[in-house]
């Protein structure tokens, strides 16, 4: 793996090794307007073609590195534990009000429609199908991805990654693969956690604040929701984890320019991961509704 884009070119003309005098540097030519235009077009090409291309290349290299023996179990477990430690508490703290707010909003609407006994059913569908993957994505991108990018980025800045390559170790195999799987593995559990905590939150809000009956809330649980809802949510969480791990690795491995470079990389990681996860969420949901018929329809 190299740290920059590479196109093998032809053989350059050689110059004698000694005695050639340095040539005069030419000042950058062209008018100011031309230079600005070129800068903009360079930037556009970079954003539209080069960056996604390099990211895709990294994804392919990482995919190849997955099958290299031995799998770094130790790193995987350490990273999993690390991700758990940075995500569990925030996840719960986000999930409780999320469940509550859903209950409040949907509960009110449902009561107006006269379907009060279905409050539980709507809460389950809303939380399991959409809310928990979304909360998971926020936490995976914001907490796990940023921490991972900061870690890899600071290693890059300290030249640890270069040193690793020189010592004959592939950093994708050693660092990126275990982190990516750790992220996906923990995302599965986070998704379950959000579902449970969100439902408990919804239950508490519904029963205590909206005078719902506990029996009705629980009894209607599986009126609309079905098992594939949970499975698709877990699938989403897995994909989110892989995506967040890859983006964090890509940005971290390409960090440059000292501590500020790492900060920028972390910032970009969070923004890019958010965007990718929301797009993925949309695509997976759409496909899910196409392929899995809703209950009772």
Partner 1 sequence: MGVEIRVEGLTKSFGRQVIWQDVSLSIPAGEISVLLGPSGTGKSVFLKSLVGLLKPDRGHIYIGDRDLPYLPEHQLYETRKLFGVLFQDGALFGSMNLFDNIAFPLREHTRKTEAEVKRIVLEKMDLVGLMGAEGKLPGEISGGMKKRAGLARALVLDPEILLVDEPDSGLDPVRTAFLNQVFIDLNAQLDCTFLIVTHDINTARTVPDNIGLLYQRHLAMFGPREMLLSSEEPVVRQFLNASKVGPIGMSEEKDASELEAEAKMGLDSGKLPPIPPQQMPSNGLVRRGQHAPGAWCAAHGVTPPPGSFIDELGRNWVDEWPRYVASMQAGQAAGAPGGAFPPPAPGPGGAAY
| Interface contacts to partner 1, rule CB under 8 A | 1-4, 6-25, 42, 154-155, 158-160, 162-170
Rounded to whole angstroms, how far apart are CA atoms 173 and 63? Answer: 9
Q: How far is the CB of 17 from partner 1 (least distance, A)?
A: 5
From the CB of 15, what's the least distance to partner 1, in Å? 5
Cis peptide bond prior to 70, omega within 30° of 0: yes
Give how far the C-alpha of residue 8 lies from the chain's centroid of Cα atoms, to the nearest Å: 33
Which is closer to partner 1, CB of 46 or CB of 267?
Answer: 46
Looking at the Cβ atoms of 153 and 212, the one nearer to partner 1 is 153
DSSP 8-state code for residue 118? G
CB distance 281 to 132 below 8 Å: no
How distant, in Å, are the alpha carbons of 100, 201, 214, 217 from that of 116? 16, 18, 12, 9
The token pair at 104 is 């409040």
In the bound state with partner 1, the residue whose beta carbon lies nearer, of 6 and 73, is 6
Nearest CB to partner 1, comparing residues 31 and 114:
31
User: CB of residue 139 vs partner 1: minimum separation in angstroms?
Assistant: 24
Whole-angstrom CA distances from 107 to 100, 103, 156, 208, 275 are: 10, 5, 50, 12, 30
Q: How far is the CB of 271 from partner 1 (least distance, A)?
A: 23
Give the shortest CB-174-to-partner 1 separation in angstroms: 10
d(CA 182, CA 83): 8
Of the pair 77, 159, the CB lying nearest partner 1 is at 159
To partner 1, the closest distance from the beta carbon of 11 in angstroms equals: 6
151 with 143: CB under 8 angstroms?
Answer: no
Closest to partner 1 by CB, 17 or 290? 17
User: Which residues 6+ apart lie within 8 Å of 67 measured at CB?
Assistant: none
3-state secondary structure of 150: helix
- Of the pair 6, 291, the CB lying nearest partner 1 is at 6
DSSP H helix total and E strand total for the chain: 13, 0
Q: How far is the CB of 53 from partner 1 (least distance, A)?
A: 15
Tokens of 166: 């020189």
Q: What is the DSSP letter of 126?
A: I
For partner 1, the closer of residues 111 and 174 by Cβ is 174
Minimum CB–partner distance for residue 9 and partner 1 (Å): 5
Taking residue 38's Cβ as centre, other Cβ atoms within 10 Å add up to 11
């Amino acid at each position: 793996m190299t740290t920059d884009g590479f196109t093998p070119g032809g053989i350059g003309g050689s110059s004698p090794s000694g005695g050639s005098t340095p040539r005069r540097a030419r000042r950058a030519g062209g008018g100011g307007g031309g230079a600005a235009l070129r800068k903009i077009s360079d930037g556009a090409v970079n954003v539209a073609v080069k960056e996604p291309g390099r990211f895709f290349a990294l994804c392919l290299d990482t995919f190849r590195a997955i099958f290299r023996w031995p799998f770094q179990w130790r790193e995987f477990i350490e990273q999993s534990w690390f991700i758990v430690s940075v995500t569990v508490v925030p996840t719960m703290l986000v999930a409780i009000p999320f469940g509550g707010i859903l209950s409040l909003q949907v509960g009110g609407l449902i009561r107006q429609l006269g379907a009060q006994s279905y409050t539980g059913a709507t809460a389950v569908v809303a939380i399991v199908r959409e809310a928990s993957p979304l909360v998971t994505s926020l936490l995976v991108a914001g907490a796990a991805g940023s921490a991972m990018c900061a870690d890899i980025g600071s290693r890059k800045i300290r030249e640890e990654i270069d040193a690793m390559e020189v010592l004959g170790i592939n950093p994708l195999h050693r660092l990126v693969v275990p982190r990516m799987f750790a992220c996906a593995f923990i995302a599965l559990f986070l998704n379950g956690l959000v579902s449970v905590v969100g439902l408990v939150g919804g239950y508490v809000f519904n029963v205590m604040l909206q005078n719902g009956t506990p029996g009705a809330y629980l009894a209607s649980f599986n009126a609309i929701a079905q098992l594939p809802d949970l499975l698709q949510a877990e699938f989403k969480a897995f994909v989110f984890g892989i995506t967040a791990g890859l983006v964090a690795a890509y940005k971290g491995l390409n960090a440059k320019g000292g501590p500020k470079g790492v900060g920028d990389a972390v910032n970009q990681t969070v923004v890019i991961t958010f965007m990718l996860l929301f797009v993925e969420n949309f695509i997976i949901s759409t496909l899910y509704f196409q392929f899995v018929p809703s209950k009772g329809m």
